[in-house]
Structure 1
Amino acid sequence: MKKLLIAAVALLAVAVAPKAYAQKTVGGAVMSPAKNIVQNASGSKDHTTLVAAVKAAGLAPTLSAAGPYTVFAPTNEAFAKLPAGTVDNLMKPANKASLIKTLTYHVVPGKLSSTDLLTKVKEGKGKTELSTLSGGTITVMSQGTKLYLVDEKGGKSWITIDDVAQSNGIIHVVNTVLMPN
């Protein structure tokens, strides 16, 4: 009986323990859960456009702060899908407000793992809406265990790498830039 009770307590401890995230490689770099969002993204060769945009927008201090934040991080290929000239135009000092709005549309307060997102989708009967730092909303949906996001303009982006642990939150790599209204 005592062994059964010990086994039950151990199982309960595992069930309620915070999720441990395995280190992941993104853009050829091992992401360290001891580093913040900006530090890790700066090491990814797949996120050079995102990092340059974050710095141009003046958002590096925010995304280096305690958070926690959930970031849906578009790859260089995602930015390349935008119409020609869009990224260059957004990076101009005169368009800083639009750049900030676009980037903060990819950030949600709190730390939402893929399991958290799937749970919210199931509870929402197939979808859930997340409020972004820009003040907009992103709809999260699933196809099996694969998650995708729908922006306010109806664009769709898949999460290609999930649960990349950061000291100040979590990153989910996405294959398309999300566009706010």
Structure 2
Amino acid sequence: MNTQTNTPGTKNLLDTAADNGSFKTFGKAIEQAGMSDTLRGTGPFTVFAPTDAAFDKLPAGKLDNLLKPENKQELVSLLNYHVVNGRKTVSDIGKWEAARTVNGQSAPIKLANDKVSIDGAMVTAADISSSNGVIHGIDKVNIPTKQ
């Protein structure tokens, strides 16, 4: 697992994700959901950002459907299920049994063989620091059970 330094970066969460190169689809979804200002705001937030490869694993047509203007509320709910208030490192999260996400639903956390997962998504890139939080890359798009 890749880990970055835990010192706050100079760029906000959205710009840090864009610079990483693995979160293009996530960035596009954030823009479409109208959440850009939030993730560029003061925070701090912990974002479990699905990689582009994670979005590719969604069923055919699911992403296109989510990005339609009429499905904005569902997209916002899904994205908020990937955000936790505060700046939390992977070692912090590994001590939890669940994470209370911004959408209000709890996501189960598991720690096995020094690897952390959230709702079944493995953290593949940990502790990518930004000025207003931290990003953890994950290998699956988590779908909340309630919208």
TM-score (norm 2): 0.92
2:44 equivalent in structure 1:
68
SS in 2 for 1:133: coil
Query: Could you say which structure has the greater relative contact order, defined with CA pairs below 8 angstroms and 6 or more residues apart?
Result: 2
2:63 equivalent in structure 1:
87
| Cα drift, residue 44 of structure 1 | 2.7
Which 5+ residue runs of structure 2 have no aligned equivalent?
none
1:177 equivalent in structure 2:
141
Work out the number of aligned pairs and report it.
Answer: 141
**Does residue 77 of structure 2 align to residue 101 of structure 1?**
yes
| Cα drift, residue 149 of structure 1 | 1.3
SS in 1 for 2:137: strand
- CA distance, structure 2, for counterparts of residue 148 and residue 42 of structure 1: 23
4+ long deviations beyond 4 Å: none
2:19 equivalent in structure 1:
43
- CA distance, structure 2, for counterparts of residue 161 and residue 56 of structure 1: 24
Identity %: 37
- CA distance, structure 2, for counterparts of residue 93 and residue 43 of structure 1: 26
2:115 equivalent in structure 1:
146
Instruction: Kindly provide the CA deviation profile for residues 88-127 of structure 1, in whole angstroms up to 9, marking residues without a partner as x.
Output: 0000000000000000100000111011112x24xxxxxx
**Partner amino acid for 1:103?**
L
Greater helix proportion: 1
1:166 equivalent in structure 2:
130
1:110 equivalent in structure 2:
86
1:54 equivalent in structure 2:
30
Which 5+ residue runs of structure 1 have no aligned equivalent?
1-20, 24-31, 122-127, 151-155
